[in-house]
Structure 1
Amino acid sequence: MSEAPFRPREKLFEKQKYFQNIPKHTYLKGPMDKVTSVAIPLALAASSIYLIGRGIYNMSHGIGKKE
């Protein structure tokens, strides 16, 4: 008993040729990889820098203290 392949062999060869011929870094080869590898980390870094800056500003000016 043999199991049917997950994808046809021709499609697999097409994908392999596509990914092997792109002169980019391996983590940016897919069509949506720029979103997951670049945009999301930049958004997280920007929001964390903003929140850290806001916290330092509030501490230095005594804003938001509990009494």
Structure 2
Amino acid sequence: MSETPFRPREKLIEKQKLYQSIHKHTHLKGPMDKITSVAIPLALAGSCLFMIGRGIYNMSNGIGKKE
């Protein structure tokens, strides 16, 4: 008894040809990989830098101290 394939063989061969023909870095080969590999880390880094800057500004001016 054989199991049915997860994807049709033709689709698999088509995807393999697509990924083998692209001359980019391995982590940027998919169509949505730019979002997960570039945009999300840049957004996290930007928000971290903003919060660090705001914290330094608040500490240097004495804003937001708990009594």
Aligned to 2:18: 18
Which contiguous aligned blocks of 4+ residues in structure 1 show a shift greater than 2 angstroms?
none
Q: Deviations over 1:23-52 (max 9, x none)?
A: 100100000000000000000000000000
Query: Structure 1: any 5+ residue segments left out of the alignment?
Result: none
Aligned to 1:46: 46
What TM-score does the superposition give when structure 2 sets the normalisation length?
0.98
Query: Structure 2: any 5+ residue segments left out of the alignment?
Result: none
Aligned to 1:3: 3
Identity of paired residues, percent? 79
Aligned to 1:65: 65
What TM-score does the superposition give when structure 1 sets the normalisation length?
0.98
Aligned to 2:33: 33
Q: How many residues align?
A: 67
- The two structures, once aligned, show a CA RMSD in angstroms of 0.4
